[in-house]
Amino acid sequence: MTGTSPTLDSVTTDDGVRLYCEVWGSGANTLIVPNGICYMDEFRRFAQGRTVVAYDVRNRGRSDTLTDPAKLERGILNDVDDLDAVRRHFGAERIDLIGHSYIGVMVVLYAMHYPRHVSRLVQIGPAPPHADTRYPAHLAWADATMEEFIRKSTELRQQMTAQDDPVEICRKFWELLRVLSVFDAKDAAKIDWIRCELPNERSFMMYWIQRIVPSLQKLRFTAEDFAKVTAPVLTVHGNRDRNAPYGGGREWAMHLPDARLLTVPDTAHAPWVEAPEKVLEPIEAFFDGRWPELAEKVTALDPQAA
């Protein structure tokens, strides 16, 4: 067993930002999970026989709160460089990676910039390669749950006052957001990512809108960029994902040179929460050097045309 508590550590980036880290296990192979601390109840199983490093990315969680625009303006590109600082801190020449949501884009960017340091890479519910892509309806799940989230979150913002407790506001928002992250609303209670006690997490949406989203929108991948990723990539995507369209997962797996797609039926943005046996065991097999049985090579964006 890997134990019930991690070893705590921190990494100082090249421009002096402190990143909070948790280390599970002590195996020879190193798996890094950026922004993954809140997932470690499920992901610590990967520390059996390896070292797993989960850390709060820049301006998130227990990492430094930043106000200097120079340390924020590059958005996701800062996160790419910070990931290499984490790798170097732990003395790992080659690493495995897991990236969820927008971090699923970041870890691929890292593999483009530092291909010789990546052994294997998993994306879960990644944002699409090109932020402005509009996918057909069957590749971009939208339903009444999304409409309800927009309505209720708008009402919450309109009702906010300067006297409101920011922690309580954050918790109310997360109650809405976690329903959006699952296909079946009864599974929403299983999501325990709420860290509203941390100032960075309470203010994340502003950082997301002002810095991360614009940096994602500037990305323009070419065939040459995709070809730089030499490591095997497993893209895991729920086909009912409202936050990151399923078409984006198909597109990553179609363009990356050594990639396969694991589609998790009737799950949304947190497929390992809704269907752990269909996600966690295949990821373990992948990191052990085997393609999961149901992982497919993608030859067409539209599965109906494949």
CATH of residue 86: 3.40.50.1820
User: 55 in a domain, yes or no?
Assistant: yes
In a domain, 201, yes or no: no
Dist. CA 171–CA 185, nearest whole Å? 17
Domain-embedded: residue 195? no
Does residue 172 sit within a domain? no
- pLDDT tens string 238-253: 999 999 999 999 999 9
CB 248 within 8 A of CB 216: no
Q: In a 3-state reduction of DSSP, which class is residue 35?
A: coil
pLDDT in tens, 193-236: 889 999 999 999 999 999 999 999 999 999 999 999 999 999 99
pLDDT tens digits along 136-166: 999 999 899 999 999 999 999 888 887 889 9
Q: How far apart are CA 162 and CA 229, in angstroms?
A: 47
Specify the number of domains making up the chain: 1
230 burial (CB, 10 Å; 0-12 / 13-18 / 19+) is middle
**Residue 190 included in any domain:** no
**What 8-state DSSP symbol labels residue 209?**
I
Domain around 123: 7-140+211-305
Q: Is residue 11 part of a domain?
A: yes
